Amino acid sequence: MDDKVLSCVNCGSHSCKERDDRFPNFCPTVEFDDERVGVIVDALKTDETLKNIALTSAEVEGQFYGKLSRVEETIEYIKRGGYKNIGIATCIGLINETRTLMKIFDRYGVNSYAVCCKVGGVDKSDIGVPDEHKLNRGKEHETMCNPILQAKVLEERQTDFNIIMGLCVGHDSLFSMHSKAPVTTLVVKDRVLAHNPVAALYTSDTIYSRFK
C-alpha cells in the first residue's frame, strides 16, 4: 500500500460514524471543511427533489432496518416517496423476473412500465463493435443493448422513478447518465453468481481465491 493514496478502507477509527474526533490524517471528513459540507446539507434541506430522496431513504432505513428484503424496501420507498409512475429498465435476460416484480407492484398498487435493453433493435455493428466482440462473432445481426433509448422511452412515459433490473456493467452507467427520473438498482447483473456479485467477495479466500 506504500505508493497508494490512503482511503477509508485504511481507516481504523471510522470516526465519521460516531463523530468522536479520532479522524486519521488522510480522512476526507477533515479535508471537506464545514463550509463545503454545509453546501450539501443546505441543498438536501432546500431542493425538494433531493430532500424527498434523502428523507425517504432515511425513513425506510430507520423503520425497516434488517426487516425487509430489497424488493419490499423498494415498494416502501416508492409509496413513502410519493412516486406514481415507475419505470423499469430491464435486461432482456431478466424479463421474467421483471414480470414477477410488476405483478407484485400491481398487488401493492404501484403503477409500472418496463422497457427492455434491446429496444430499437440496432445492430452492434452500427456503433462499431467488431465481430470478434459479438456473441455470435458476426455471423448474423446482433442487437446491442440501448440504455440511452431505454432512458428516453421512460422519459416519454413520464416516469417519476426508475429501476434498473440487471443491466450490464457500463450499460447501467449510460442509463443512469441519461435517466430524467431518479434511479435505483434492484438487480445487479452477475451472469455467473445468480446476480449476487458480492458472493465473489465473500468467497475470495476460497472458491474465488483466483483474485489473489
Per DSSP (E only), the strands in 6-153 are: 86-90, 112-116
**Which CB sits closer to ligand SF4, 24 or 120?**
24
CA dist 138 and 125 (Å) reads 9
**Which CB sits closer to ligand SF4, 27 or 149?**
27
Q: Which of 206, 193, 192, 144 is nearest to 171 (CA)?
A: 144
**Which CB sits closer to ligand SF4, 16 or 199?**
16
**Which CB sits closer to ligand SF4, 13 or 63?**
13
CB of 96 to ligand SF4, least distance (A): 40
CB of 55 to ligand SF4, least distance (A): 23
**2 to 21, contacts with ligand SF4 by CB under 6 A?**
8, 11, 13-16
Strands ordered across the beta sheet of 86-90: 112-116, 86-90, 161-165, 183-187
CB of 60 to ligand SF4, least distance (A): 23
**Which CB sits closer to ligand SF4, 28 or 38?**
28
Residue 211 near residue 200 (C-beta atoms within 8 A):
yes
For residue 115, the tally of other CB atoms under 10 A from its CB is 24
CB of 1 to ligand SF4, least distance (A): 14
Q: How many residues bind ligand SF4 (CB under 6 A)?
A: 11
Close Cβ partners of 159 (under 8 Å, ≥ 6 residues apart): 85, 86, 87, 113, 181
Hey, what's the cell of 6? 490512503
CA dist 45 and 139 (Å) reads 55
Shortest-Cβ-distance residue relative to ligand SF4:
11
Per DSSP (E only), the strands in 8-158 are: 86-90, 112-116
CB of 18 to ligand SF4, least distance (A): 9
Q: How many helices and strands, by DSSP H and E, does the chain display?
A: 9, 4
Place of cell 425517504: 56
Binding mask 18-57 for ligand SF4 (x = CB under 6 A): -----xx--xxx----------------------------
CB of 13 to ligand SF4, least distance (A): 6
**Which CB sits closer to ligand SF4, 7 or 100?**
7
Residues that bind ligand SF4 (CB under 6 A): 8, 11, 13-16, 23-24, 27-29
